[in-house]
Amino acid sequence: MIKRPFTGLSQPKLKYDSVESDPKGPETVLMPSNILLLLNDSLDSLRTSLIKKEDQVKKGEKLSLYTESTEYVISPVSGVIKKIESYPGEFGNIKTYLVIGTEENDDFVNDFEEHADKFELEAAAKLLKSLPGAPPFETLIDPTKKIHTLVISGVDEDLASTTRQYFLSTAPEDLKEGIKILQNLTKIPKIILTVPEGFNVEFEISGMQVFNISSFYPNALPEMIMKNQLKTTVPQGKTCEDIGVCFISSEAVVSIAKACRDKKVHFEKLVCVTGKDGVQKRIKTSIGTPVKSIFKHLNIHTNKNDRIVIGGPFKGFSVFTIYHPVQPCMDSIIVQDAGIIPFVSDSACINCGKCIKICPANIPVNLLVRQLEANLFEEAKETFDLESCIECGLCSYVCTAKIPIFQYIRLGKHELLKMKTETEKEGANG
């Protein structure tokens, strides 16, 4: 093993993008003739599905595969189902996608209308979880979580996005209204609004605190806010929600306010799109619009081997199709030309120590990655703090040997979860 000192290395300072002082409104990307919806459920050839090809669907209709399914999507359009197929998600998780041919008619199944004036959390979880911004109602109704603090996030977690800041800057009244609705609905005693450094919040709400978040990555990640502002460390293998802190985006809060005011669900999602030239544009479009339609509108041409990243440069994931649809939680898209994609290698670690120096969770990353490369997942967890990783991706970014450390980490966590689920299943079956 080569020994090198871990001192004397300078840390990269990665500044978050800031919304303009007088932000321009988003460009509208019109809904195409076919939209796609992703359903977090898998098709089962032995069961009869509740929905099938050629079925007519109405705007606002809740679509799920089977009577006992808990997963659903709400159709943002009226039209006809043209296709229902399996969709290979991350780590081989099979989901389902629906293609809906849009039709121009005003049919709208408005299940929310009767709940809008005085709705309960259970109704919100059933009817509002697909709102733009993806409000975490399932966490809020989960009796095992015991949420005591709600953090409204007016800061974007990754670079190349100003979606959350945009709502913070341009919709203070809706934000205020949405926070009050959530206060009444959840009775959560502690409400926090996070804003970028120097941002002036124009409204006050009794019981709400405002936290200024440093403009350098990764300080807007939930685990960093827990550590820096709430002075709480999330224990290994746990989430912020497990210890009673739930995060919700400013867009989700604004969407809740609009839904209650208009007594109906909205489907327009704001997305920041960074093209191959690095220019960032803000667009709004219906949930379900394939990214292909956005690229066409913005004149972004994609070629073979270009990369489409959903999310930011650190926490985002690549997709293999230009038909990937806009989803409620999708804040940003980056298109990278094949020629500038940073390469990864299977070279061995040279022990330069950069990853250790930059890791905000103080993980011995150089040792951890050796275990992960050898598929020693239990070892990685027990001895090298795999589950303390907050998935910021900084280690991959600085790695001299260009090892895809972050991908190894995510795969390692996924394998551990799979092993745990299998053990639990075996236990349940005796």
Supply the minimum distance, in Å, between the C-beta of residue 127 and ligand SF4.
Answer: 36
Supply the minimum distance, in Å, between the C-beta of residue 394 and ligand SF4.
Answer: 4
> According to the binding rule CB under 6 A, does residue 394 interact with ligand SF4?
yes
Q: What gap in Å lies between CA 404 and CA 385, rounded to an integer? A: 18
Q: What gap in Å lies between CA 233 and CA 189, rounded to an integer? A: 20
Q: What gap in Å lies between CA 248 and CA 236, rounded to an integer? A: 22
Supply the minimum distance, in Å, between the C-beta of residue 133 and ligand SF4.
Answer: 25
Neighbour-count burial of 320, counting CB atoms closer than 10 A to its CB (0-12 exposed, 13-18 middle, 19+ buried): exposed
Residues contacting ligand SF4: total by CB under 6 A: 30
**Going residue by residue from 356 to 375, which x/- string records binding to ligand SF4, judged by CB under 6 A?**
--xxxx-x-xx--x------
Stretch that binds ligand SF4, among 43-51, 333-341, 348-356, 415-423 (CB under 6 A): 348-356
Query: Tokens 């991908």 label which residue?
Result: 407
Burial 162-177 (b: 16+ CB within 10 A, else e): bbbbbbbbbbeebbbb
Q: Which is nearer to ligand SF4, 65 or 398 (CB)?
A: 398
Supply the minimum distance, in Å, between the C-beta of residue 232 and ligand SF4.
Answer: 17
> According to the binding rule CB under 6 A, does residue 225 interact with ligand SF4?
no
> According to the binding rule CB under 6 A, does residue 325 interact with ligand SF4?
no
Q: What gap in Å lies between CA 179 and CA 207, rounded to an integer? A: 11
Token readout for 74 is 């709400």
Strand 317-319 relative to strand 268-274, pairing: unpaired
Report the run of H or E that residue 413 belongs to, with start and end: helix 405-428
Report the candidate in 245, 58, 248 with the shortest Cα–Cα distance to residue 137.
248
> According to the binding rule CB under 6 A, does residue 151 interact with ligand SF4?
no
Q: What gap in Å lies between CA 107 and CA 273, rounded to an integer? A: 31
How many Cα atoms occupy the beta-carbon half-sphere of 263 within 13 Å?
Answer: 7
Looking at 352, 372, 380, 413, which residue binds ligand SF4 (CB under 6 A)? 352
Stretch that binds ligand SF4, among 246-254, 316-324, 331-339, 355-363 (CB under 6 A): 355-363
Supply the minimum distance, in Å, between the C-beta of residue 158 and ligand SF4.
Answer: 13
> According to the binding rule CB under 6 A, does residue 124 interact with ligand SF4?
no
> According to the binding rule CB under 6 A, does residue 391 interact with ligand SF4?
yes
Looking at 100, 175, 245, 401, which residue binds ligand SF4 (CB under 6 A)? 401
Supply the minimum distance, in Å, between the C-beta of residue 395 and ligand SF4.
Answer: 3
Looking at 353, 377, 381, 387, which residue binds ligand SF4 (CB under 6 A)? 353
Looking at 63, 273, 283, 355, which residue binds ligand SF4 (CB under 6 A)? 355
Looking at 377, 389, 408, 413, which residue binds ligand SF4 (CB under 6 A)? 389
Q: What gap in Å lies between CA 279 and CA 315, rounded to an integer? A: 20
Supply the minimum distance, in Å, between the C-beta of residue 391 and ligand SF4.
Answer: 5
> According to the binding rule CB under 6 A, does residue 59 interact with ligand SF4?
no
Neighbours of 178 (CB within 10 A): 28
> According to the binding rule CB under 6 A, does residue 349 interact with ligand SF4?
yes
Supply the minimum distance, in Å, between the C-beta of residue 401 and ligand SF4.
Answer: 4
Supply the minimum distance, in Å, between the C-beta of residue 369 and ligand SF4.
Answer: 5
> According to the binding rule CB under 6 A, does residue 390 interact with ligand SF4?
yes
Q: Which is nearer to ligand SF4, 297 or 354 (CB)?
A: 354
Q: Which is nearer to ligand SF4, 1 or 46 (CB)?
A: 1
Stretch that binds ligand SF4, among 12-20, 45-53, 280-288, 389-397 (CB under 6 A): 389-397
Looking at 220, 393, 412, 413, which residue binds ligand SF4 (CB under 6 A)? 393
Supply the minimum distance, in Å, between the C-beta of residue 335 and ligand SF4.
Answer: 24
Task: Write the CA distances from 396 to 88, 92, 314, 405, 406, integer angstroms.
Answer: 25, 23, 9, 5, 6
Report the run of H or E that residue 165 belongs to, with start and end: helix 163-170
Q: What gap in Å lies between CA 139 and CA 141, rounded to an integer? A: 5
Counting DSSP H helices and E strands in the chain, the numbers are 12, 16
Number of residues that this document lists for the chain: 430
Contacts of residue 63, Cβ cutoff 8 Å, sequence gap at least 6: 37, 39, 50, 51, 57, 72, 73, 74, 75, 98
Supply the minimum distance, in Å, between the C-beta of residue 40 and ligand SF4.
Answer: 25
Footprint of ligand SF4 (CB under 6 A): 349-355, 358-361, 363, 365-366, 369, 389-395, 398-401, 403, 405-406, 409
